[in-house]
A and B are shown apart, each in its own frame.
Chain A
Amino acid sequence: MNDSIYLSIQNSPRFKELVSKRERFAWILSAIMLGLYSGFILLIAYGPHLLGTKLSPDSSITWGIPWALA
């Protein structure tokens, strides 16, 4: 129904630029999320003691807590 409008939008350079910028931004953010989470899971699987290391000798908070909240 809106074929001609769709076509003109699709061919407009400004639309192309906006879309490609937005897409790249969304994918970068998703990739960061995925990377952080995979890293977290791998760390749990292979190096749980790293997350269990204390922030400082006199604190009970371990590195895993800020890692997980971030």
Chain B
Amino acid sequence: MIRHAKTLAVLACGAFAPAVWAADALTGEVHKQPLNVAAIAMFVAFVAFTLGITYWASKRNKSASDYYAAGGRITGFQNGLAIAGDYMSAASFLGISALVFTSGYDGLIYSIGFLVGWPIILFLIAERLRNLGKYTFADVASYRLGQKEIRTLSASGSLVVVAFYLIAQMVGAGKLIQLLFGLDYHVAVILVGILMCMYVLFGGMLATTWVQIIKAVLLLSGASFMALMVMKHVGFDFNTLFSEAIKVHSKGEAIMSPGGLVKDPISAFSLGLALMFGTAGLPHILMRFFTVSDAKEARKSVLYATGFIGYFYILTFIIGFGAILLVSTNPDFKDAAGALLGGNNMAAVHLADAVGGSIFLGFISAVAFATILAVVAGLTLAGASAVSHDLYASVWRKGKANDKDEIRVSKITTIALGVLAIGLGILFEKQNIAFMVGLAFSIAASCNFPVLLLSMYWKKLTTRGAMIGGWLGLVSAVGLMVLGPTIWVQILGHEKAIYPYEYPALFSMLIAFVGIWFFSVTDKSKAAENERALFYPQFVRSQTGLGASGAVSH
């Protein structure tokens, strides 16, 4: 009944809306599209279905383990899909296909960067992380070190990463919805904020996981269909695809080799490092490893996730080239000046229209929005658990908090994060999304990753070393970013950047690792002695899983 009413309301809006929106469609940087009824109907269906799942999940959530880690009952395959759903953002779907559309090969460089971190997680992180931790990666980092210091550090690192990533997603969401559905930016941001809070508040990890799984399936099948139609158009021959694209693209053969994206080697390398190791320091990704029952399933989930993500990036490459063939040659998708309607980020969306008509266009638009919801829900849950599990339960209550209080704090944090995300999303409306994502990865690679990796692998690590080095990494990453060309010159308006490169990871990671090493080896205290002695029991547990928290059965 309620769904009927909603659909009717949407249809009613659709009937008179185009006239209203057409009036201001030409103002602002992002051009609003006329209200897309098919897209909104499908989106409402998605929201209704996922809220149903949230309700189901809320009935099943009984303990803290259910809330944070879905009780450890998710299978490796499901978790792999959920990780892929957590990681493949709308920004990468629309952004990378747009990058391929405008500059060809350069788009592929970007997607490879996002993929290379995964084998590292598989080889070095996944198993040990699962064997040592319970709900957050701070459990692992602080396993044999000072709880207060390391959890505060890890929670701060997590929150900063979550904040930047969340802003990037919120801004992306607002723009996307403006483009796809013809809704106002502010309305879109508030809507996303409210929905993500609902999923996390009532459904916890279980609902978040299923939202991510559904979104991954929808996104992968939608993108597969588009790529299939593109390949059918060229007779399933890559050579034809590329040579046709070269013929119609204004840059000609230049689209088949690296071009202007990578300006200087140091910036390129710095971004490469950030993407590669940042993935292994993203709190919302690391948290997903605690939703499976044991290390074997954790390993399997990375394997599936890597497969899905890699497949997805190949699809975006085909979709980008398909857009060159089918969208750039079609005057229907262009304005009077010959630019793509709604900007280059709409390349994939226009392609959906070109290969599947308006119903499929609606489907892809709704999937793009669902994609954002799944990512922000995962981020919010990671931020909330950093506050409740690490700061509140372990630092403030010194591990004596009961489950009920801990979850209550987590829910309050979720609402606070929701409000914060909406506020920052509106405040940062004009910011470059790709840069913010780069920043989040850089911080994750310079603070979370070094502490996590060394706590699992380096016997001589001490609390003092991890704390000083970790903070140095965090501060230097943020500091260099502020002094770099984007913020110092473009935003603060100074003449020349103090730090000449776009991304800080190359230097801030070095600072973090050297800092951790130096302050650990020079630590001669009694506590440090104990921490080093605790390495071997930790090592045995990390290898065997003996004593690890397993699946909870009700």
Choose from A9, A15, A46, A64 the contact partner of B265 (Cβ within 8 Å). Answer: A46
Interface string of A50-70 (1 = CB under 8 A from B): 011000000111101100110
For the complex, give the distance between the alpha carbons of A3 and B533 in Å. Answer: 12
Given contacts A5-B546, A60-B243, contact A33 B116 (CB under 8 A): yes
Residues in A with CB closer than 8 Å to B544 are: 9, 15
Q: Is residue B536 contacting chain A, with contact meaning CB distance below 8 A?
A: yes
A33 CB contacts on chain B under 8 angstroms: 116, 119-120, 123
B257 touches A49 (CB 8 A): yes
Taken together as a complex, chains A and B put the C-alpha atoms of A62 and B314 apart, in Å, by: 16
B137, CB-defined interface residue at 8 Å: no
- B483 to chain A minimum Cβ distance, whole angstroms, is 23
Chain A, interface size category, equals 35 or more
Question: Is B258 interfacial (CB 8 A cutoff)?
Answer: yes
Cα distance A9–B120 in the bound complex, in angstroms: 27
Whether B256 contacts A64 by the Cβ 8 Å rule is: yes
- Main SS of chain B's interface residues? helix
Q: In the complex, which of the residues B256, B262, B536 contacts A6, with contact meaning CB atoms closer than 8 Å?
A: B536
Given contacts A10-B536, A52-B256, A52-B258, contact A29 B239 (CB under 8 A): no
Q: Which of B103-158 contact A (CB under 8 A)?
A: 105, 108-109, 112, 116, 119-120, 123-124
B242 at the interface (CB under 8 A from A): yes
> In the assembled complex, how far is the CB of residue A42 from the closest CB belonging to chain B, in whole angstroms?
7
Query: What sequence of 0s and 1s flags, for each residue 243-259 of chain B, a beta carbon within 8 Å of any chain A beta carbon?
Result: 10010000001001111
Chain A residues contacting B242 (CB-CB under 8 Å) are: 60-61
Task: Please determine whether A51 and B105 come into contact, CB atoms closer than 8 angstroms.
Answer: yes
- Which chain A positions have C-beta within 8 A of B276? 34, 37
Task: Flag whether B8 is at the interface (Cβ < 8 A).
Answer: no
Q: Is the Cβ of A3 less than 8 Å from the Cβ of B537?
A: yes
Please tell me if the beta carbons of A59 and B546 are within 8 angstroms of each other in the complex: no
Is the beta-carbon distance between B119 and A29 smaller than 8 angstroms? yes
Interface check B427, CB cutoff 8 A: no
Closest to A46 in B: B265
Structural contact, B540 and A6, CB atoms closer than 8 A: yes
| B124, A1: Cβ atoms closer than 8 Å | no
CA distance A64 to B255 in the complex (A): 11
* Cβ distance B278 to chain A, nearest Cβ, rounded Å: 13
**Complexed CA–CA distance, A68 and B536 (Å):** 40
Nearest A residue to B541, CB-CB: A6
| A44 vs chain B, min Cβ distance (A) | 5
Please state if B257 and A45 are interface contacts (CB–CB under 8 Å). Answer: no
Let me know if A45 and B268 touch, CB within 8 A.
yes
User: Are A2 and B246 in contact, with the CB atoms below 8 A?
Assistant: no
8 Å CB contact of A61 from B239, B258, B540, B547: B239
B522 within 8 A of A: no
Would you call B329 an interface residue if the criterion is a C-beta within 8 Å of the partner chain's C-beta atoms? Answer: no
A37 to B109 Cα, complex, angstroms: 10
Query: What A residues does B314 contact at CB under 8 A?
Result: 69
Residues of B within 8 A of A30 (CB): 119-120, 123-124
With A10-B540, A45-B264, A51-B258 known as contacts, the answer to whether A2 contacts B547 (CB < 8 A) is yes
Chain B residues contacting A45 (CB-CB under 8 Å) are 262, 264-265, 268-269
Is there contact, CB below 8 Å, between B238 and A61?
Answer: yes
| Residue in B243, B268, B272, B539 whose CB lies within 8 Å of A10 | B539
Instruction: State the interface size on chain B (CB cutoff 8 A).
Output: 36
Interface hits, B504-554 → A, CB 8 Å: 536-537, 539-541, 543-544, 546-547
Interface centre among B112, B257, B259, B536 (most CB of A within 10 A): B257
Known contacts A2-B546, A69-B314; is-contact A9 B256 (Cβ 8 Å): no
Contact status B109-A68, CB under 8 Å: yes
Q: Are A29 and B257 in contact (CB under 8 A)?
A: no
- Least CB distance from A5 to B in Å reads 7
CB distance from A6 to the nearest CB of B (A): 4
CB 8 Å contact bits of B220-263 with A (1 = contact, 0 = none): 00000000000000000011001100100000010011110010
CA distance A52 to B109 in the complex (A): 13
How many angstroms between the C-alpha atoms of A26 and B105 in the bound complex? 31
Q: Is B238 within 8 A of A62, CB to CB?
A: no
- CB proximity of B264 to chain A, nearest CB, Å: 7
**B127 → chain A, closest Cβ, in Å?**
9
Contacts of B246 in A (CB 8 A): 60
Instruction: List the B side residues contacting A3 at CB < 8 Å.
Output: 537
A66 CB, nearest partner CB in chain B, Å: 10
Taking CB atoms, residues of chain A closer than 8 Å to B239 are 59-61
Residues of B within 8 A of A51 (CB): 105, 257-258
Across the interface, B268 reaches (CB within 8 A) one of A26, A44, A60, namely A44
Task: Return the chain B residue nearest A33 by Cβ.
Answer: B119
Tell me whether B537 and A19 are in contact (CB under 8 A). no
Q: Looking across the interface, which residue of chain A has its beta carbon closest to that of B310?
A: A69
Cβ A40 vs Cβ B546 within 8 A: no
- Which A residues contact B (CB, under 8 angstroms)? 1-3, 5-7, 9-10, 15, 19, 22, 26-27, 29-30, 33-34, 37-38, 40-42, 44-46, 48-49, 51-52, 59-62, 64-65, 68-69
List, sorted by A's number, 5 A–B pairs whose CB atoms are closer than 8 Å: A7-B537, A44-B109, A45-B268, A64-B257, A69-B314
**Known interface pairs A37-B276, A59-B239; 17 further A-B residue pairs with C-beta atoms within 8 A, sorted by A's residue number:** A6-B540, A6-B546, A9-B540, A15-B543, A22-B543, A26-B124, A27-B124, A37-B112, A38-B269, A42-B269, A44-B262, A44-B268, A45-B268, A46-B265, A48-B257, A52-B256, A65-B108
Closest 10 CB pairs of A and B: A52-B257, A45-B265, A60-B243, A60-B242, A48-B258, A26-B123, A62-B256, A6-B537, A44-B258, A6-B540
